[in-house]
């Protein structure tokens, strides 16, 4: 088992600029955040992201819609440049631990991805816990993907960050072998399993912006119970079959309890005969996409993500 990095050690491991960003994030969040109601946590989370003050591209065509699926409507937000390429589209699932986040929390990320790549993006507002427990978010993700796929002839990339990465990967697993399966999956510091015995959960247990205790809380909220099994049907790393998955690209932060899951997932895809590329981004923490306009290190990774998307759509 890896040695746990102390909270104080991150003062030396992270750059001064990154530590300042973390201090800014913490200053924008209530000190009693963990004791707030879920509704209040969602409000505080979105407020913090809005206060970071990222500048948004102004030339995009953005539209909110209710996606009419065979079961129930799902809110989505579309992003397009004035003359989009029809060759490839992205279906994006936001992060937030299956509890937080919505179309507004990740609005800037999706807008910048659209502007930087020229690709159309459909962001999906799946239902959250604790109002809707596991596996509702997984079901919403598949339902949204299938409905959107039926409406276009374009190839589709499933993409998501954190909890949204779990949903994107679930879609890739569920749809593999089908005519409208994703052509690729791009996952950013994704949740891929629930096995807290992985070394990274111990080594980076006290990492800034996401701790192992945070992840345990989110899993408990999603499952509606205290005990979190390390094997759940529908969670990507819980399967024994990693064959026939689309081209997979994962970006991980160095200081993140989830980093071990990303490495393991790529290893298993390769062992199953698939193609998987893992970018292990040094000096970054979970959630660094929200620092893309403030920190050179986060900006550089975000530019690499955009280049991968361009390459996948070429």
Q: Identify the pLDDT of residue 184.
A: 98
Coil vs helix vs strand at 72: coil
Does 158 reside within a domain?
A: yes
Kindly give the confidence (pLDDT) of every residue in the chain, 314 residues in length, as a single tens digit, with 9 standing for 90 and above. 679 999 999 999 999 999 999 999 999 999 999 899 999 999 999 999 999 877 888 899 999 999 999 999 999 999 999 987 768 999 999 999 999 999 999 999 999 999 999 999 999 999 999 999 999 999 999 999 999 999 999 999 999 999 999 999 999 999 999 999 999 999 999 999 999 999 999 999 999 999 999 999 999 999 998 889 888 999 999 999 999 999 999 999 999 999 999 999 999 999 999 999 999 999 999 999 999 999 999 999 999 999 999 999 88
Does 156 reside within a domain?
A: yes
Q: Any idea what the CATH number is for the domain that residue 307 is in? A: 3.40.50.1820
Q: Identify the pLDDT of residue 1.
A: 65
Domain that holds residue 75: 7-313
Angstrom distance (rounded) from CA 235 to CA 173: 9
Query: How many Cβ atoms from other residues are within 10 Å of residue 290's Cβ?
Result: 22
Radius of gyration of the chain (CA): 18
Q: How many domains does the chain have?
A: 1
Q: 184-188 and 155-161: which strand pairing?
A: parallel
Angstrom distance (rounded) from CA 210 to CA 221: 16
Does 1 reside within a domain?
A: no
Does 281 reside within a domain?
A: yes
Q: Identify the pLDDT of residue 210.
A: 98
Query: How many Cβ atoms from other residues are within 10 Å of residue 55's Cβ?
Result: 9
258 contacts: CB under 8 Å, gap ≥ 6: 162, 189, 190, 191, 192, 200, 210, 215, 252, 286
Q: Identify the pLDDT of residue 54.
A: 74
Does 2 reside within a domain?
A: no
Q: What is the pTM of this model?
A: 0.97
Does 74 reside within a domain?
A: yes
Does 216 reside within a domain?
A: yes
83 contacts: CB under 8 Å, gap ≥ 6: none
């Amino acid at each position: 088992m890896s040695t746990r990095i102390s909270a104080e050690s991150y003062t030396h491991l992270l750059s001064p600029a990154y530590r300042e960003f973390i201090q800014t994030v913490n200053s924008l969040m209530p000190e009693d955040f963990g004791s707030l109601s879920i509704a209040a946590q969602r409000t505080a989370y979105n407020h913090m992201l809005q206060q970071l003050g990222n500048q948004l591209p102004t030339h995009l065509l953005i539209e909110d819609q209710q996606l009419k699926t065979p079961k129930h409507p799902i809110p989505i937000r579309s992003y397009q440049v004035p003359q989009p390429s029809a060759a490839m589209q992205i279906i994006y699932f936001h992060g937030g631990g299956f509890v937080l986040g919505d179309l507004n929390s990740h609005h800037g990320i999706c807008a910048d991805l659209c502007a930087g790549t020229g690709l159309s993006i459909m962001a999906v507002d799946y239902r959250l816990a604790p109002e809707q427990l596991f596996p509702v978010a997984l079901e919403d993700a598949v339902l949204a993907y299938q409905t959107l796929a039926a409406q276009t002839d374009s190839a589709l990339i499933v993409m998501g960050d954190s909890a949204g990465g779990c949903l994107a990967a679930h879609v890739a697993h569920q749809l593999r072998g089908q005519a409208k399966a994703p052509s690729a999956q791009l996952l950013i510091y994704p949740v891929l399993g629930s096995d807290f015995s992985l070394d990274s959960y111990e080594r980076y247990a006290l990492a800034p912006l996401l701790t192992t205790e945070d992840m345990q809380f989110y899993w408990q909220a999603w499952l509606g119970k205290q005990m979190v099994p390390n094997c759940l049907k529908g969670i990507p790393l819980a399967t024994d079959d990693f064959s026939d998955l689309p081209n997979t690209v994962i970006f991980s932060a160095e200081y993140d309890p989830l980093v071990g899951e990303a490495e393991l997932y790529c290893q298993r895809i390769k062992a199953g005969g698939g193609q998987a590329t893992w970018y292990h981004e040094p000096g970054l923490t979970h959630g660094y996409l929200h620092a893309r306009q403030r920190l050179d290190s986060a900006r550089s990774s975000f530019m690499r993500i955009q280049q991968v998307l361009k390459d996948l759509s070429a």
